[in-house]
Structure 1
Amino acid sequence: MDQETKWQQQARRDPAQARNYIGRFAELRSSGADLDGEARFADAMLSRGSRVLDAGCGTGRVGGELAARGHRVTGVDLDAELLAAARADFPGSRWLEGNLATLDIRDEAGNRECFDLVISPGNVLAFVAPGTAGTVLGALAAHLAPAGRLVVGFSPLKGYSLETFKEDAAAAGLRIDTLFSTWDMRPMLPGSDFVVALLEPRQTVN
Structure 2
Amino acid sequence: MSGPEENRWLASVRENPDKASEYAERWRRIEAEGNDIFGEARLADAMAPRGARILDAGCGTGRIGGYLHRAGHEVWGVDLDPTLIGVARADHPGPTWQVQNLAELSLVDGAGARIEFGLIISAGNVMGFLAGAERAASLRGIFAHLAPEGRAVIGFGSNWGWEFGDFVDESYAAGLELQSRYSTWELHPPNDDFFVGVFGRR
Structure 1 length-normalised TM: 0.93
- The alignment partner of 1:122 has SS state of coil
- The alignment partner of 2:94 has SS state of coil
Output aligned runs, 1:49-198, within 5 Å: 49-189=51-191, 191=192, 193-198=193-198
Which 4+ stretches in 1 moved above 3 angstroms?
none
Give me the whole-angstrom Cα distance separating, in 1, the residues matched to 2:55 and 2:63.
13
Deviations 1:146-165 (A, max 9, x none): 11100111012111110110
Give me the whole-angstrom Cα distance separating, in 2, the residues matched to 1:128 and 1:158.
9
Q: State the Cα distance separating 1:90 from its structure 2 match.
A: 1.2
Q: State the Cα distance separating 1:4 from its structure 2 match.
A: 5.2
- The alignment partner of 2:133 has SS state of coil
Q: Which amino acid aligns with 2:14?
A: R
Cα RMSD for the two superposed structures: 1.1
Give me the whole-angstrom Cα distance separating, in 1, the residues matched to 2:6 and 2:97.
21
Give me the whole-angstrom Cα distance separating, in 2, the residues matched to 1:89 and 1:26.
10
- The alignment partner of 2:178 has SS state of strand
Give me the whole-angstrom Cα distance separating, in 2, the residues matched to 1:68 and 1:185.
23
| Identical amino acids, percent of aligned pairs | 45
Deviations 1:51-104 (A, max 9, x none): 000000011000000001000000001111111110001111100011110111
Deviations 1:85-139 (A, max 9, x none): 1000111110001111011111111110000001000000111122322221111
- The alignment partner of 1:75 has SS state of strand
Q: Which amino acid aligns with 1:199?
A: F
Give me the whole-angstrom Cα distance separating, in 2, the residues matched to 1:160 and 1:26.
29
Compared CA separation, residues 98 and 4, structure 1 to 2 (3 A): farther
- Answer yes or no: is the 8 Å Cα contact 1:6–1:130 preserved in 2: no
Give me the whole-angstrom Cα distance separating, in 2, the residues matched to 1:34 and 1:121.
15
Gaps of 5+ in 2: none
Give me the whole-angstrom Cα distance separating, in 2, the residues matched to 1:17 and 1:160.
23
Q: State the Cα distance separating 1:5 from its structure 2 match.
A: 2.0
Q: Which amino acid aligns with 2:173?
A: A
Q: State the Cα distance separating 1:26 from its structure 2 match.
A: 1.0
Give me the whole-angstrom Cα distance separating, in 2, the residues matched to 1:122 and 1:131.
20
Q: 2:40 maps to what in 1?
A: 38
